[in-house]
Amino acid sequence: MSLVRTRLPYPRKLQLARAGTPLEPMPRTSAVLGVEVLIKRDDLTGAELSGNKVRKLEFLLAEAQDQGADTVITCGGEQSNHCRATALAAARAGLASRVVLRTDDPAAPPPATGNILLDRLAGATVRWISRPDWAKRNAIMEEEAATVRAAGGRPYVIPEGGSNAMGSWGYVACAAELADDLATLPARPTTIVFACGSGGTAAGLALGAKLLGLPERGVRVAAVNVCDDRAYFVRVISRICADMTARWSLPAAIAPEELDVVDGYVGLGYARSQPAELVTLRDVCRRDGVVLDPVYTGKAFHGMVTELARDRGRFGERIVFVHTGGIFGLFPAAAELAPLL
Q: What is the DSSP letter of 218?
A: T
The Cα–Cα gap between 266 and 287 comes to 24
pLDDT tens for the chain, 341 residues long, are: 444 455 899 999 999 999 999 999 999 999 999 999 999 999 999 989 999 999 999 999 999 999 999 999 999 999 999 999 999 999 999 999 999 999 999 999 999 999 999 999 999 999 999 999 999 999 999 999 999 999 999 999 999 999 999 999 999 999 999 999 999 999 999 999 999 999 999 999 999 999 999 999 999 999 999 999 999 999 999 999 999 999 999 999 999 999 999 999 999 999 999 999 999 999 999 999 999 999 999 999 999 999 999 999 999 999 999 999 999 989 989 999 999 99
Q: What are phi and psi of 159, to 5 degrees?
A: -65, 165
- Whether CATH 3.40.50.1100 fits 3-50+164-340: yes
The residues near 151 (Cβ < 8 Å, ≥ 6 apart) are: none
Is-same-fold flag (3-50+164-340; 53-162)? yes
- Interior angle at CA 15, CA 54 and CA 140, nearest 5: 40
The Cα–Cα gap between 306 and 309 comes to 5
Does residue 2 have an active-site annotation? no
Q: Which fold has domain 53-162?
A: Rossmann fold (3.40.50)
Q: Which residues of 66-79 are buried (b: 16+ CB within 10 A; e: fewer)?
A: eeebbbbbbbbbbb
Q: Is 144 helix (H, G, I), strand (E, B) or coil?
A: helix
The residues near 276 (Cβ < 8 Å, ≥ 6 apart) are: 302
Please state the domain extents for the chain: 3-50+164-340, 53-162
Sign of the torsion formed by the C-alpha atoms of 305, 306, 309 and 311: negative
Which of the residues 2, 30, 50, 80 is marked catalytic? 80
Torsion of CA 307, 227, 247, 4, to 10 degrees: -30
